[in-house]
Each structure stands twice: as C-alpha cells, then as structure tokens.
Amino acid sequence: MARKLIFIFLIFLTILSVDVNCFKLQQVLILSRHNLRTPLTSNLKDTSPHKWPKWKYDYGYLTDKGALLESYMGEYFKEWLNEQGLLPPVCPTADDVFVYANTKQRTRESANAFVRGAFKSCNISAYSINSEKMDPVFNPILRDTSEETKRKIIAELENKLRELDLDEAYTHLSEILDLKNSHICKNDLLCDFSQFKNEIVYVIGQEPRIVGPLNTTNNVMDAIIMSYYEGMANEDVAWGKINKAQQWTLLTKIIRENQNVRFNSSTLGRNVAKPLLKYIQGVFTDIPPRKVTVLFGHDSNLNSVMAALGLKHYELPNHYEATPPGGKIVFQKWHDEKMNRDLLKINYVYQTIDQIRNTYYLSSKNPPFWVDLELTNCSVDKNGFCPWEKFQKMLISIN
C-alpha cells in the first residue's frame, strides 16, 4: 500500500512538473518609476518655522543611493531573466534588450544604473532623446482639445476631490510642521489645511494640476519621505516627530491621494498616457519581437497607464506608497505550450521600505517584493494568467 501511494505521489509530481514547464516566458516589458531622488521643490521653508534638512544634490535629482538601489534592481532582474531562460547568462544582444528613459536627470540616471547592474561589461546602453524638454512619450500632459473630453476629465477630478478624506492627515502634519507658527499661517493665513479648497487647473499641454492644500501637503510629505528613504538620521526626518508605522501610513495617504486625484481615472489616464500606451502596444506587435524592454518614467506614468488599462486596486505590503521609487510594473508574455496559447501576467515589483532605507542588496535569496496585478476586463486564473488576446484588444481599443 505504501509503495502504491509513493508511486501515485511521484506521478502527481511528474504531472505538476509538466504543467509548470509548459509555460515559457517569451517577452517582458518593464515600466519603472525612477529610483530615490531629492525633493522636487525647495520652496518649503514657509510651511514650518523649523529648519529643513539640506541635500547635496539639485532638487529632483537621483541621489547616489538611488543609483545604487537601481543597480541592485538591474542585477536582480538580469538574474531572474536568466532563470526564466529569456536572456542568456552571457551578454544579450542590443536587439534583445532596449532600455529607454525620459529626459529628466532622475530617469536617465536610473536607466544608466539599471544597465550597470544588469549588463556589466556588455554592449548595452540606456537610450534617451537628446533634449532638455520632456520626451513626448513620457510627458503626462492633457492633449485632447475637445470639450467633451474636458468635461469628462474635470468630472473625474471633481469626484476624486469630493471623495478626499485627509482631515486627520492634515491635522497631524500641521502639528509636525508647527503650522500655526509658520510664514504661510502668519502672512497668508493658511493655518488649517482642511479649511482651504483645492482648485483644478486644466490646461492643454500641461499636466493636470491641483492648487491648494493637497498640492502643498504633498510637496511637504514628498520631502519628508525622501529624507527617510535616503537614510537620514531620525532627527532630520520630520524633526524626529514621526516614529511609528501608523504615522507613516496616515501621512503618506496624502501622497497616494495626490496621484490618485491627478492621474488615476480612466478618461484622464487614456488622455495623458496615450503616447506611452501606443509605444507599449508597438513593443508587443513588433516583428521580430524584442525580448526585454525597460522604460523609465515617473509615478504619473505608472498611475495613468494603470488607470487607462483598468487595473484593479492593489496593495503593496511593507510599503507606504502605491508607486514607490524604483517600483516597476512588469508585463510578461508567456506561452502555454500544452494548450498552444499566449498568456499575460502582470506584477508590481518593488523594494520594501527596509530594503530602500537600509540599502539592502537584492538577489534570489533576498528579492524585491512581487505583487500580482489584475485587469478589470481580463480576469486571471489560479496562476495569475489572463488571455493575451484580450490584452491586445484592450491596447488597440484605448489607442
């Protein structure tokens, strides 16, 4: 009886092995946010009587630590692509891999760092157009001039603003800043973030913007969390006033909601992400197909693409942001040899808070986190796959 059970178990393992081995990775497109950077603005001194920490880099620039973290990501992904058999353990050809970045320093240098980590001593380099202006592919600006589109987008923005529930976060941030003793309170009478209205700025050729407490507090929290990521001493991170995970969860809701309002709605997402979505569609229809494409943009790019595609809500364990620095949406085309069909799998891959703050090296033994993503109109099976044909039709319909 025991021998019979062992025999049945071995047959089961063989079947399981066949099922696993019949899935072959054919193509990968990685849409990445740049890694750790400095705050985007230096205009914060009016928000608090306290002295803000100094950075040794220009504002909005990738830091040395951000470059190192991104090189770790590159090294990890090369290992993963080797393990999946998509790229060889030796140097791939330039026809097999293309790394493309927006023109901003933080995206260009993130791409360069990824290449250094993934393709040491290989003839692979990151590409970026030679311009100081935003690359049109990555520029998340309003494009459609029709009044109907404008009406729909403004309605989406207004609805998002009505749903905002940030009073608790605003109150706690005001206490940390000592807002009542700040310049903006004494001179501009902005002493309570929750008492001021957010205004929508809708201008063709510009990013959708919100002027008001959401923008002001987002800039403040961006500066605070970037100093935490950078590994600054606790007393230099919000003057030592954030020391519990619950505080970070509450306060970073401001960052999440800023992106949610400005880029995470369907009509707006399709409008501002149109060139990037068209580029992604082209990558997946090119013949012969390129095996690996890595795109380096911004959180606005990731959010607008996810909104346009209709990705379901997701949570990132061990992180406070929905689109953290260096985080990547990994689109994968798999082939099921047993059923002779192509399949889509999408993951969010990111470095956790500890991995970022403590600059942990990444490997298969200490990997970044992987979270499964799902499209609203393309339900996944137990293995996280949905039909590739549905994804292709979706890309065509929104382009």
Which among 227, 220, 218 has a CA at the least distance from the CA of 356?
A: 227
Instruction: Return the exposure string of 243-261: e unless at least 16 CB atoms fall within 10 Å of the residue's CB, then b.
Output: eeeebbebbbbbbbbbbbb
User: Of residues 34, 135, 298, 319, which has the active-site annotation?
Assistant: 34
Question: What does the radius of gyration of the chain's CA atoms come to, in whole angstroms?
Answer: 23
Burial class (CB in 10 A: 0-12, 13-18, 19+), 10: exposed
Q: Give the orientation angle of helix 213-229 with respect to helix 253-263, to 10 degrees.
A: 120
Catalytic residue among 135, 222, 298, 299: 299
335 flagged as catalytic: no
CA distance 394 to 375: 10
For 175, 195, 196, 293, the CA distances from 170, given in Å and listed in that order, are 9, 10, 11, 40
DSSP annotation of 378: B
Q: Note whether 316 and 324 are within 8 A (CB).
A: yes
Tally Cβ neighbours within 10 Å of residue 155: 12
CA dihedral 192, 198, 199, 204 (to 10 degrees): 130
Q: Is 299 one of the annotated active-site residues of the chain? A: yes
Active site residues: 34, 299
